[in-house]
Amino acid sequence: MNEKPFGNDRPDAVPGDALETGDALDPEADGPLELAEMAALMRTQQRAARGGTARIVSLLLLTWGVVWFTGFLVLWSGVRGGNPWFTIASPIDSIAFGGLMIVGVAASITMGARLGRGVRGGSATSDTMYGLAWMVAMAGATATLTALIGHGLAPESITLVAPSIYVSTAGLMYLVGAAIWRSWATFGLGSCVIAIACVATFIGAPHHLLAYAIGSIVVLPVFAWLSWRGMMRGTDPTRPGSGPRASET
């Protein structure tokens, strides 16, 4: 057995040495050092978890910024009176937009699964409920839009209402996430996304699509950078990615 019965770490230690130093009489001689090492290890692991979470969230926001920018630019290029430099024929514009949305959703699912690794207890439950809330909210937005179309919503109004409903719903979900994570930065993100939807709707068709494209490529990368810098964390101590920034620990 490879034991240290006298608590002395020197390889040439003998019982007499331990008795002379008093280590044998103090079974907790190594205690403070071990506790300090454990605390340092925990801080290192927490910093690594926070950094990993921040990077994933940053990549997710950047992905959606590119997806929305490209998708709305394609739609703007496919409508009459839109892009003056080049046009995209219908239904290629709609198919391309749908494909980009699928890419964004797939990225969200993949990165969301990575964020959920190692999360247990109440945090895991709230994360699961938040993910399901996104699906319920978007399904509700789709059902509402379908009902409006069924009740005779004019085609020119559909082009304004449809993106506004979905983008506003996304902004509201960010606000919900801000309340869960106690993050004012995430609250700012949700507010900016809702503002994009409002401004674009006031601009009107067809250039509201360009407003969505510009707004998304400006706002989302900015918050992606903030996340990468660790400035979007909340204050929930049960979450690996929350709490003070690494530089504050």
Res. 237: pLDDT tops 50: no
- What's the pTM value of the predicted model, to 2 decimals? 0.75
Res. 8: pLDDT tops 50: no
Cis peptide bond N-terminal to 237, omega within 30: no
Beta-carbon count within 10 A of 151 CB? 7
- Give the position of tokens 């103090």: 26
pLDDT tens figures, 120-170: 555 778 888 998 999 999 999 999 999 999 999 998 899 999 999 999 999
Contacts of residue 187, defined as CB under 8 A and 6 or more positions apart, other chains included, come to 174, 175, 178, 179
Q: Tell me the domain boundaries of the chain.
A: 49-229
pLDDT tens figures, 165-210: 999 999 999 999 999 989 999 999 999 999 999 999 999 999 999 9
- Give the position of tokens 């983008």: 167
Beta-carbon count within 10 A of 106 CB? 11
Gyration radius of the chain over CA positions:
27
pLDDT tens figures, 50-108: 555 788 899 999 999 999 999 999 999 999 999 999 999 989 999 999 999 999 999 99
